[in-house]
Structure 1
């Protein structure tokens, strides 16, 4: 299976062409919307190839920041010619839709592995500009940040048709994922500023402010659960979406909060620890269904959950999550000979899981790489088993 994933990386890598300066990697040859670069898919691909091909990983990071808008917006998916869509031109959204800003975490991984801290100078300014874009365009009422899912349902968060936005009224309200992601940006900006001999005080303060807000304003102690701001205020709007894990992944949660969350939710078979973890909606949630982002398991999210567990010293939890995800992925690969966009959380066939019933693409994509950092998941598992 891992050899096949490596071959998908190879097949999905194209020569440098506009708008990229370096060879670029697509989301996988089976992506129904054709050749595309970016969103959080490319971050998973970068992390997956980093130990084997650090130069290629660096080139994808440089490609990712290449088309940053003057206002700091980093585009979501850049749609390229070719692939199943047979598109003949390059298009992307330059105004209303960004993507989850996980790329600085991949830069951190690159520096940690290669010791090439000089690249921080290249990535520092794009990071600061993206923070400014979030502050100017995604600042929530009061404190925190939001994704435009709540306003436009453009699925900027990467979670198409996520359950969190089914009932909530439109408004600039703090989202637990966006707020946690921007918290990570502040943390990394402060670190890079110090390394570059620059003033880090603003980013340190904002990181502290957001951490406090996440631990208090986006947390319900009685549930031991992180929620979006509207669900904290209204118990009727509380569900069990996997996005609640991001305070743990980014290190914003207190150790006590993180350990309770891991034990009560990530390791709970009635919530996220399904046969193929992690379920994107808790198994016992009334909104759980075998439909894209409303229950099915994405290997990338199992990976981030495992990283969150390791951040708090929970090797036991990370091992369980990774082992179950890798085992079922291998089982389905042996049966079908392909890597699936997402998986049946109950251990059944991915073919039986719905994608988008209102479109002609209603089954998970085959040969999909963007959410399958399986090589890195296996490395991580080997390091802790």
Structure 2
């Protein structure tokens, strides 16, 4: 295994004669051969030189101390990241990272996957993260909408895409999508100290807030995703159990409302950092936080729900979306403690041998079907971040260690990384995706497997390397 230089600050990368060259802002830092046959390997394995460079940087991160059992899957993920980088196309100025070569829907860019991929690569290749952010913001429309998913070379409806052989961008029929891109911007700035990106990010966040306020706000307070009125799955949780009994008209969704709180809070913070007025954004964040704490919280069960379910217990289901106020910081410390200790770490609910289940194991609607029980590593990661936010380091460490152990065990059996996983560490063949179309989880899936970020969070939460 060839080591790769650790470069600090904004990076510039270059491929030349089979060399991976890392340049600082003013000086040449280091160069290493990717392999004895680097030029051929690059041309055969990676679609772009940036992909090869990304893979090499992540291979270096995979060599950092953790658990020996995790190293093979991290090395494999490093290569998958590199293979997922495609040449610039459409309105993307830079090569873009798709959500994985095994995704059934072709070359797709966006949604949760893009944020999680950036969090996964920000330590090894922050310049790559900056470029992916600029690609994403380049798609923002005049009304403030940032497209949730952009696909290339496909046409048709989600689940029934057809390859077209072109590189024209196609927007899926989603609209809002969770605005979690702001977390990746924060991670980039924290890693590099480069605040220049914040100016463009702040402008985009303000415009996106305008779109949400105009199109997804609820008169009685809070925000919603289109899932509450029709089968659009704007939230990213396809066919979630929360929507088996929908209200007659839009009401506040726990996920959308908590996500908008995050967008308000980050906009307020960025405004302060850039010397811009922040009172409007902070006031909106404070108002929404109070709404979440009082209107979307059930003190009897110690969990957050959509507003229609808070008022009508027979509609309630213990689904992972109730954790979002903890992840975004909208919960009170006591509310967060109850969510974490009574639910997320409860082995009868969400803390399966491979945590975190998408629906609690105790819920009547739990099943081994997409978003109704199986585990998505990215959601385990967000749950652990919520634990860490509220000073529950032990909970964060347990979730990350168990999830990484289970993923490594499955990787040793199947030799791939999956879109989602069996919560009991059973056979992946038992899992179902959707009755229509492909009815099994995708292989070689990058976007929902931020394993490098998970290892880092495990370390920060007290995990000890072997």
TM category, shorter = over 0.9
Q: Superposed, which structure 2 residues align to 1:338-349 within 5 Å?
A: 338-349=416-427
Aligned equivalents of 1:160 and 1:87: distance in 2?
25
Give the corresponding residue for 2:440.
Answer: 363
Out of 162, 167, 172, which is 2:245 matched to?
A: 167
| Large movers: runs of 4+ above 2 Å | 82-96
1:139 corresponds to which of 197, 200, 217: 217
Structure 2 equivalent of residue 86 of structure 1: 163
Q: Pairwise mapping of residues 194-233 of structure 1 onto structure 2 (< 5 A)?
A: 194-233=272-311
Q: How has the CA–CA distance of structure 1 residues 320 and 196 changed in structure 2, closer, same or farther, with 3 Å as cutoff?
A: same
d(CA) in 2 for partners of 1:177 and 1:122?
Answer: 26
Q: Which moved more, 1:148-157 or 1:129-138?
A: 148-157
Q: TM-score by structure 2 length?
A: 0.81
- SS of the residue corresponding to residue 319 of structure 1 reads helix
Q: Tell me how far 1:327 sits from its aligned partner.
A: 0.6
Question: Match for 1:378 among 436, 452, 455?
Answer: 455
In the alignment, structure 1 residue 63 sits paired with structure 2 residue 140: no
In the other structure, the counterpart of 2:337 is 259
Shift of 1:94: 7.6
Choose the corresponding residue for 1:155, options 225, 233, 236.
Answer: 233
State whether residues 120 and 451 of structure 2, in contact with CA within 8 Å, keep that contact through their aligned partners in structure 1: yes
Q: Is the 8 A contact 2:120 2:452 kept in 1?
A: yes
- Answering whether residue 410 of structure 2 is matched by residue 332 of structure 1, we say yes
Cα separation, 1, equivalents of 2:270 and 2:146: 19
Separation (CA, whole Å) in 1 of partners of 2:407 and 2:173:
37
Matched, 1:10 2:87: no
Displacement after TM superposition at 1:382 (Å): 2.0
In the alignment, the residues of structure 1 paired with residue 173 and residue 407 of structure 2 have an alpha-carbon distance, to the nearest angstrom, of: 37
Q: CA deviation at 1:93?
A: 3.5
- Unaligned 5+ segments in structure 1 are none
- Where does residue 32 of structure 1 map in the other structure? 104
Q: Is 2:364 aligned against 1:292?
A: no
Question: Do residues 249 (structure 1) and 304 (structure 2) align?
Answer: no
Counterpart CA distance in 1 for 2:174 and 2:429 is: 33
Q: Hey, what's the Cα distance between the residues in 2 that align with 1:246 and 1:47?
A: 18
CA contact (8 A) 2:417 2:443 kept: yes
1:92 is displaced (CA, Å) by 3.4
Q: Is the strand fraction higher in 1 or 2?
A: 2
Indicate which of 140, 147, 150 corresponds to 1:75. 147
SS at match of 1:43: helix
Q: Deviations over 1:81-120 (max 9, x none)?
A: 2799533343434875221110001101111111111211
Counterpart-to-counterpart distance in 2, 1:56 and 1:190: 26
TM-score by length of 1: 0.97
Shift of 1:237: 0.6
List gaps (5 residues or longer) in structure 2. Answer: 1-72, 156-160
Post-superposition offset of 1:375: 1.2
CA distance, structure 2, for counterparts of residue 163 and residue 318 of structure 1? 26
Larger radius of gyration: 2
Structure 1 residues 284 and 31 mapped into 2: Cα distance closer, same or farther (>3 Å)?
Answer: same
Between 84-93 and 300-309, the greater mean CA deviation after superposition: 84-93
Equivalence for 1:20: 92
Contact 2:267 2:281 in 1 (8 A): yes
Match of 1:183 among 250, 256, 261: 261
Maintained 8 Å contact 1:355/1:363: yes
1:5–1:369 contact (8 Å) kept in structure 2? yes
**1:177-223 CA-partner distances (Å, limit 9, x unpaired):** 00000000100111111122221111111000000000000001111
Native 8 Å contact 2:205 2:267 kept in 1:
yes
The change in CA–CA distance for 1:110 and 1:243 in structure 2 (over 3 A counts) is same
RMSD (Å), alpha carbons: 1.4
2:401 corresponding residue in structure 1: 323
